[in-house]
Amino acid sequence: MEIPVESRELSQLKKQPTICSFCGCGCGLYFFSEGFLVPAQNHPVSRGKLCLRGWSYADLRFTPKRLKSPLIRRNGKLEAASWEEALNTAGEALKAIRDKYGGDAIGVLGSARASVEDNFTLYQFATKVLGTKNIDSFYRLGFFPSEDFSFPDLEKAEQIILLACDIAERHAQAASFVTGALARGAFLYIIDPRMPQMSKLASIHIQPSPFELLKEAEKFIEELEVRGDCYLLYSSEIILYGWACEARKVIEKAITKGIKPLFLCDYANQKGMVKMGIHPQGGLSFYEILDEARKGNIKALVIMSDNPSERFPQLFKEAREKLEFILVIDPLRTDAVEVSDVALPGTFFFEKEGSTINAEGRRQALHPTVTPQVEKNEIETLIALGEKLGVSLPFPSGELVEMEMKEWKPELSPTTQHTPSPDYPFTLLLDPSYIWAGTAMAQATFIYNRESSIILSDFPEGFVNINSEDAKELKIRDRMPVKIETPLGSITLPAYTTLRAGKGVLLFPLYLWEKVAEKLGGVEFDKSHGMPIFKPIPARIAKEE
């Protein structure tokens, strides 16, 4: 269904760049309806360069995963419906639940692949229409409130420190800036228990035990003789290990030494989403919303472009059984859409007006550069839905959005860590790599889907990354099942022997988090900023009998 964009000169809009909605780098590109895109050469971040994800972004135009018409569940099956019918059904169901159980029985999930304005409207919808405090997003996973910076400055750096982040894998554009700086003679220092791709280019690579990571980082920063521009790059790893509070101290120390910290967001509009209020504000966080739903305290979910089953499939499945109603607004037919009661199509970045904020804190405008494939965008849908519930929502004008934009500074508290012991010579560590494998965004592309699912088809049961030398000593070969014993419990996974894992480190990918945590007594949680965490756990390897 091709709907013309009213009163807009498409030939003019076609010449405007749009922004990639994969990682937090926020590359500018020209998007064309014929299924191709061109990296913007004069864009400060992309500079004519795009990563594999960026190049594959063009596939979203033709993706078979696109949700094109509203769906309503009838007799257990999702059937196509008209917009009016779907809006009415959703409106009635939400009204009934709000009136029966109160607004706080509804959970609302925002998204980092929706625009700032979409998240603004969703927040207004949650607070003014539904009256709930429970608003958050699974796209906040690994977020850390941090300072703004500028990528182009990075290229002029003289010293660059990578603190536990794999930029070549997850933030390719940042890796390109770092390589550019190296080409101009900069020094690269890496502090990481893993061996990421960039480590081969580093002058110094400190591979500490995961328990010592922050201590080593602090020591290194203290001893470092800062020359010229020095940058410290870090990403979601240390947050997901439960060290947000300790990390802040290290970052503050770095700032006092004149080192500029750069936090690399994992998702496109993560910063903008949080600035629009999509984070726990007295209500439940994303993990707690589903946890409470599982216990029967949350009765309905409103999900906008989010998919909880990408990170916590079991939790979402259990929650789904108890939930009375799920409304999903998403441009993609995600797993969440498949289990929803009403699903409404959304729009991609290249189909709507709005803005997005990347890891730098750079707010970039979005324009509809191709005719949208669906009738309504998220803002129109939410406003229409508000009308059905008797509340008229404001249109997110520039001024209104500016006014509501707030920094989030949660009070962080330290978490207790597991202590290493001689009985357990290894450390089991979460590796937030393969972050896009199996996600709706990756599956919606063609080439990137092929590339990101290689690991899934090589290891359908998941894997644990073991250092090749350790594996040789223990006589473990690739794909051999190994039993990992920890003081909390044990789990058996196929081995994947590479040099990526440092000596004595066992890495498992992010998409196995829930499966691994289940065997070790459940997912841990940092209440102070509403974040599920996986602390490094001492472990040993027992060969499977």
Partner 1 sequence: MPDLTYKKIGKEDLMKILQEIANEEELIAPVEMFGGEALFQPVKDVNDITFNYVNTLFPPKQFLLPRFEKILTYKKEDGKLKVEEIIEAPKRTIFGIRSCDVEGIRYSEFFYSGKMFQREDLADPHFMARRNNLTIISVACLNPAPTCFCVCCDGGPFLERGFDLQLTDLGEYWLCEVGSEKGTAIIEKFPSFFIDAEEKDIQKRKELEDKVLEKFGPYPAFSGATLRRITEGNIPREVWESLGERCIVCGGWQLLCPLCFCYTVVDIGDENEGYRARIWDSCHYEGYHRLAGGPNPRKGRDRRRERCIFHKFSWQYVERMGRHGCVGCGRCVITCMGYVHMPQTVWEIRSAFREESYKKEAKVR
- Residue 480 binds to partner 1 (criterion: CB under 8 A): no
User: For partner 1, which stretch binds (CB under 8 A), given 58-66, 79-87, 111-119, 296-304?
Assistant: 58-66
- Residue 454 binds to partner 1 (criterion: CB under 8 A): yes
Q: Give start and end residues of each alpha helix (H) in 186-275.
A: 213-223, 236-240, 244-256, 270-275
Beta carbon of residue 182, minimum distance to partner 1 (angstroms, whole number): 5
**431 closest CA partner among 521, 335, 516, 522:** 516
Beta carbon of residue 28, minimum distance to partner 1 (angstroms, whole number): 8
Residue closer to partner 1 (CB basis): 140 or 367: 367
Q: Per-residue x/- marks for partner 1, 254-273, CB under 8 A?
A: --------------------
Beta carbon of residue 44, minimum distance to partner 1 (angstroms, whole number): 10
Cβ-based burial of 11 (10 A; exposed 0-12, middle 13-18, buried ≥19): exposed
DSSP notation for 404-417: H-------------
- Residue 457 binds to partner 1 (criterion: CB under 8 A): yes
Q: Name which position in 24, 26, 39, 530 contacts partner 1 (CB under 8 A).
A: 39
- Residue 456 binds to partner 1 (criterion: CB under 8 A): no
Residue closer to partner 1 (CB basis): 151 or 286: 151
Residue closer to partner 1 (CB basis): 455 or 491: 455
- Residue 50 binds to partner 1 (criterion: CB under 8 A): yes
Report the C-alpha gap between 19 and 173 in whole angstroms. Answer: 13
Residue closer to partner 1 (CB basis): 479 or 527: 479
CB 129 within 8 A of CB 327: no
HSE-up of residue 34 (Cα within 13 Å, Cβ side):
5
Residue closer to partner 1 (CB basis): 177 or 424: 177
- Residue 211 binds to partner 1 (criterion: CB under 8 A): no
- Residue 66 binds to partner 1 (criterion: CB under 8 A): no
The footprint of partner 1 on residues 128-187 (CB under 8 A) is 168, 172-173, 175-176, 179-180, 182-183
Rounded to an integer, what is the distance from CA 524 to the centroid of its chain? 18
CB 264 within 8 A of CB 24: yes
Q: Name which position in 2, 6, 9, 42 contacts partner 1 (CB under 8 A).
A: 42
CB 192 within 8 A of CB 205: yes
Residue closer to partner 1 (CB basis): 41 or 392: 41
Largest Cα span, the chain:
71
User: For partner 1, which stretch binds (CB under 8 A), given 145-153, 212-220, 262-270, 452-460?
Assistant: 452-460
Beta carbon of residue 72, minimum distance to partner 1 (angstroms, whole number): 21
Q: Name which position in 458, 469, 473, 544 contacts partner 1 (CB under 8 A).
A: 458
Q: Is 234 helix (H, G, I), strand (E, B) or coil?
A: strand
Q: How many residues bind partner 1 (CB under 8 A)?
A: 46
Q: Which residues contact 398 (CB under 8 A, 6 or more apart)?
A: none
DSSP notation for 255-317: HHTTEEEEE--SSTTHHHHHHTT-S-SSS--HHHHHHHHHHT---EEEEES--GGGT-HHHHH
- Residue 57 binds to partner 1 (criterion: CB under 8 A): no
Which two three-digit tokens encode residue 432? Answer: 């937030």
Backbone angles phi, psi at 219, to 5 degrees: -65, -45
Report the C-alpha gap between 540 and 427 in whole angstroms. Answer: 8
List residues binding partner 1 (CB under 8 A).
15-17, 28, 30, 34-36, 38-43, 47-52, 54-55, 58-59, 61-62, 64, 168, 172-173, 175-176, 179-180, 182-183, 197, 200-201, 446-447, 450-451, 454, 457-458
